[in-house]
Amino acid sequence: MTSTSHNDDKAALSAKDIVLVAFDGAEAIDIAGPASVFSKAEQLHPGTYRIHIASPTGGTVLTNSGLSISGTARLHDLPKSIDTLVVVGGDEAPLREALRQQVIGAWLTEAAPGARRITSVCSGAFALATVGLLDGREATTHWSALDLLQQVRPQVRVQRDRIYVRDGPIWTSAGVTTSIELALALVEDDLGHAVAMDIARTLALPMLRGGGQSQLSQTLEAQESASHRLSDLIAWIGTHLQEDLSVGALAQRVQMSPRNFARAFVAQTGCTPARFVEQSRVSAAAELLKRTQWTQERIADRSGFRSVDALQRAFQRQFGRTPRAYRESETPRYERGA
What are the distances in angstroms from CA 133 to CA 57, 105, 238?
23, 11, 37
Which pLDDT tens digit goes with each residue over 30-69? 999 999 999 999 999 999 999 999 999 999 999 988 999 9
Q: What percentage of the chain has pLDDT greater than the value 90?
A: 54
135 by DSSP, 3-state: which?
A: coil
How far is C-alpha 173 from the chain's CA centre?
Answer: 6
Of 175, 155, 151, which is closest to residue 164 (Cα–Cα)? 175
**2-202 CATH, one of 3.40.50.880, 3.40.50.800, 3.40.720.10, 2.40.70.10:** 3.40.50.880
Q: Please tell me the distance from the alpha carbon of residue 166 to that of residue 183, in angstroms, as a whole number.
A: 12
Which pLDDT tens digit goes with each residue over 59-95? 999 998 899 999 999 999 998 889 999 999 987 666 6
What are the distances in angstroms from CA 336 to CA 23, 146, 189?
31, 22, 12
For 185, residues 6+ apart whose C-beta sits below 8 A from its C-beta are 164, 166, 171, 196, 210, 211
Q: Does domain 218-334 have CATH number 1.10.287.70?
A: no
DSSP 3-state helix, strand, coil percentages of the chain (rounded to 5)? 55, 15, 35
- Residue 11 pLDDT class (50, 70, 90 cuts): very low
Of 56, 2, 71, which is closest to residue 25 (Cα–Cα)? 56
Q: Check: CB of residue 185 under 8 Å from CB of residue 213.
A: no
What are the distances in angstroms from CA 143 to CA 162, 175, 279?
9, 8, 21
| Helices vs. strands in the chain: H and E counts, helices first | 16, 10
What are the distances in angstroms from CA 272 to CA 132, 180, 314?
46, 32, 15
- Residue 162 pLDDT class (50, 70, 90 cuts): confident
Average pLDDT over residues 189-216: 78
245 by DSSP, 3-state: which?
A: coil
Q: Check: CB of residue 172 under 8 Å from CB of residue 129.
A: no
Q: Please tell me the distance from the alpha carbon of residue 15 to that of residue 190, in angstroms, as a whole number.
A: 12
Residues forming a β-bridge with 85: 19, 118
For the chain, give every domain's residue range.
Answer: 2-202, 218-334
pLDDT of residue 166 exceeding 90: yes
Q: Check: CB of residue 153 under 8 Å from CB of residue 140.
A: no
